[in-house]
């Protein structure tokens, strides 16, 4: 029990990605867009969160690295959606705490 397990490390990495309120807001925004059947592009996130483009880009980078957000290039823009697999993994890791 002294050494962290792979599950411990996975939970910590996902929790770290979610450790900023703006990143949680990004996930909620994406969930609302998906529920409405609308794609969510980067400029939507910037406008809805009222944050600088560079700040939103950094938050998206962190969420994407953790698998919590996925992006698909659509011409000159990127459409973002929730990373359902990573969210399910996070949920299952939290449930066994």
φ/ψ (deg, to 5) at 5: -90, 170
Flag whether pLDDT at 14 surpasses 80. Answer: yes
Identify the structural domains of the chain with CATH numbers, from first to last. Answer: 6-95 (1.10.10.10)
- With cut-offs at 50, 70 and 90, classify the pLDDT of residue 5: very high
Q: What is the tens place of the pLDDT at every residue in 28-75?
A: 999 999 999 988 888 889 999 989 999 999 999 999 999 999 999 988
pTM of the model: 0.91
Residues 23, 65: contact at Cβ < 8 Å? no
Query: For the chain, how long is the longest CA-to-CA vector?
Result: 50
């Amino acid at each position: 029990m002294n050494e962290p397990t792979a599950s411990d490390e996975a939970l910590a990495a996902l929790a770290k990605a979610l450790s900023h309120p703006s990143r949680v807001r990004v996930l909620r925004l994406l969930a609302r867009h998906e529920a409405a059947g609308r794609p969510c592009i980067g400029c939507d996130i910037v406008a809805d969160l009222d944050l600088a483009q560079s700040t939103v880009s950094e938050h998206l980078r962190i969420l994407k690295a953790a698998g919590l957000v996925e992006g698909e290039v659509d011409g000159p823009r990127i459409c973002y959606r929730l990373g359902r697999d990573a969210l399910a993994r996070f949920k299952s890791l939290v449930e066994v705490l």
